[in-house]
Chain A
Amino acid sequence: GENVEQHPSTLSVQEGDSAVIKCTYSDSASNYFPWYKQELGKRPQLIIDIRSNVGEKKDQRIAVTLNKTAKHFSLHITETQPEDSAVYFCAAKRESGNEKLTFGTGTRLTIIP
């Protein structure tokens, strides 16, 4: 089955600086890679996703890059703000039918004011 590794487990960034979280996956057939943000006690919220037919996707301050050959993808948050503090999870799956998502272990991001 799929195995997703995520680094770092914790990340502290000065407000205004950029944050980068990296994930690797094992199943070369995986073709859908979402990123979720989870605040304490809340549900995971999809913030951005990428499919294997593109190498990069951007939405305002958030971007995701994908390297299919190396089987890794990264989340980039620029101009970080205190409200970006949360736990971020990457995930991967085969986008056929209702294939299950495999999650990374999460990154606790803290933005220092």
Chain B
Amino acid sequence: GAVVSQHPSWVICKSGTSVKIECRSLDFQATTMFWYRQFPKQSLMLMATSNEGSKATYEQGVEKDKFLINHASLTLSTLTVTSAHPEDSSFYICSATKDSTQYFGPGTRLLVL
């Protein structure tokens, strides 16, 4: 298999602050990583595709200026939730592809107060 890690595993922040989430592929290189958001009892909703060395591709309805994605190396992608609000509270999960199989990180639970 392949291992994908995320940090932090959970974060609580005040409304208006920014939060950065890291996604790492530990034992393989990933030119592409994916960021998902999952609300309680719902499916995974793709937010954006993170491309190493180039701009991320955002899904329809996802604000690129609010959810900043940086994929600076072949093993690290970051998602920054800027000016977070309570409605941004969710479970954020990243994934990376190895040999056509998509492996998920453990997720980051964000609570915005």
- Residues of A at under 8 Å CB distance from B? 32, 34, 36, 41-46, 49, 89, 95, 98, 100-106, 108
Contacts and interface: CB of A to CB of B under 8 A. Distances in A.
A36 B34 CA distance: 16
Contacts, number: 44
Dominant SS among interface residues on chain B: strand
Contacts of B109: 41
Contact of B107 (A34, A43, A98, A106): A43
Contacts of A101: 34, 46, 102
Interface residues of B, number: 21
29 contacts: A34-B101, A36-B104, A41-B91, A41-B107, A43-B93, A43-B106, A44-B44, A44-B93, A44-B104, A45-B104, A46-B101, A46-B103, A49-B101, A95-B100, A98-B31, A98-B32, A98-B49, A98-B97, A100-B34, A100-B46, A100-B49, A101-B34, A101-B46, A103-B43, A103-B44, A105-B43, A106-B42, A106-B43, A108-B41
